[in-house]
A = this chain, B = another copy of it.
Amino acid sequence: MGELTFVGLGLFDELDISLKGVEAARRADVVYAELYTSLMRGLSLENLQNLIGKEVHVVGRRLIEEEGSEPILERAEESRVVLLVPGDPLIATTHIDLRLRAERRGIKTRVIHAASILSAAIGLSGLQNYRFGKNVTVPFPEPSLVYETPYMVIYENKVRDLHTLCFLDIRVEESKFMTVKEGLRALFEVEKRKRLRAVTSRSLAIGVARAGSDDAVVKADYVERLMEYNFGPPPHTLIFPAGRLHFVEAEALITLAGAPEDIRGMVT
């Protein structure tokens, strides 16, 4: 009888939702939105509500996770509930978890997809999709703790001649969004200890800022110069190419991302 539909909002603002997503939200009895798993910088709740023609209830982490989600699930048992989420739904584990709890209660669930930073960043970089290895998130450093995992993922991908997509930590509730510079610094700290030459000042990297917006920035350069590049406001994403590039990849980085021309020397 009831149902819970996860609708992706896409990347940047309220116009990134699909027509199918708008339609589902219009037909829903209740519409919730969670906006803490990603930063949708251009999103206006007012515009979103006007588009959908009804109130959108913004819910925090507490109302999505574990016992906190009880009110949403109760509504979804007897009515059509839409949960709007940034990006493509179910990429964040927390949504898979909510979907599981709904299905176990006999609530029918559906997914309406939208653009994800996963494919957007790969596409914008000009690098080839099938050459990406495992991706990873770079977390904000803690005072007494250095996270080695992201560095090791980049290293292991490079050993296998693969690119690495690095998501940068975001803490929406604290308004903290890691920048390309902060991400590079965090990885550099690990380089100093590990010395595997995975992230040196001469490593090629690509920063992507505000994917999906009219002022999206994609810039490729060596780490030492990328550190000084002004990407503007977040969200930012970071990509480490493999040590060798295909011909089209190198040309794309030079023409579309302003990479230095000497990267042609990386072409095999």
Interface residues of A (CB under 8 A from B): 8, 10-11, 13-20, 22-23, 51, 87-91, 93, 96-97, 99-100, 103-104, 110-116, 118-120, 122-124, 126, 128-137, 156, 160, 162, 211-212, 214, 216, 248, 251-252, 255-256
Given contacts A100-B126, A118-B119, A131-B134, 14 further A-B contacts (CB under 8 A): A8-B115, A15-B18, A15-B19, A16-B18, A16-B113, A87-B119, A99-B256, A111-B120, A113-B120, A113-B212, A114-B115, A115-B115, A132-B135, A134-B160
A118 to B, closest residue via Cβ: B119
A115 to B, closest residue via Cβ: B113
Q: How far is the CA of A251 from the CA of B100 in the complex (A)?
A: 8
Given contacts A100-B252, A256-B100, contact A89 B17 (CB under 8 A): no
**Is A113 touching B18 in the complex (CB atoms < 8 A)?**
no
Given contacts A123-B88, A248-B93, A256-B103, contact A211 B51 (CB under 8 A): no
A95 to B, closest residue via Cβ: B123
Q: How far is the CA of A256 from the CA of B179 in the complex (A)?
A: 36
Q: How far is the CB of A98 from chain B (nearest CB, A)?
A: 11
**Is A89 touching B123 in the complex (CB atoms < 8 A)?**
yes
**Is A19 touching B22 in the complex (CB atoms < 8 A)?**
yes
Chain B positions within 8 Å of A18 at CB level: 10, 15-19, 114-115
- Interchain CB contact (< 8 A) of A118 among B19, B118, B133, B136: B118
Q: How far is the CB of A190 from chain B (nearest CB, A)?
A: 18
Chain B positions within 8 Å of A162 at CB level: 134
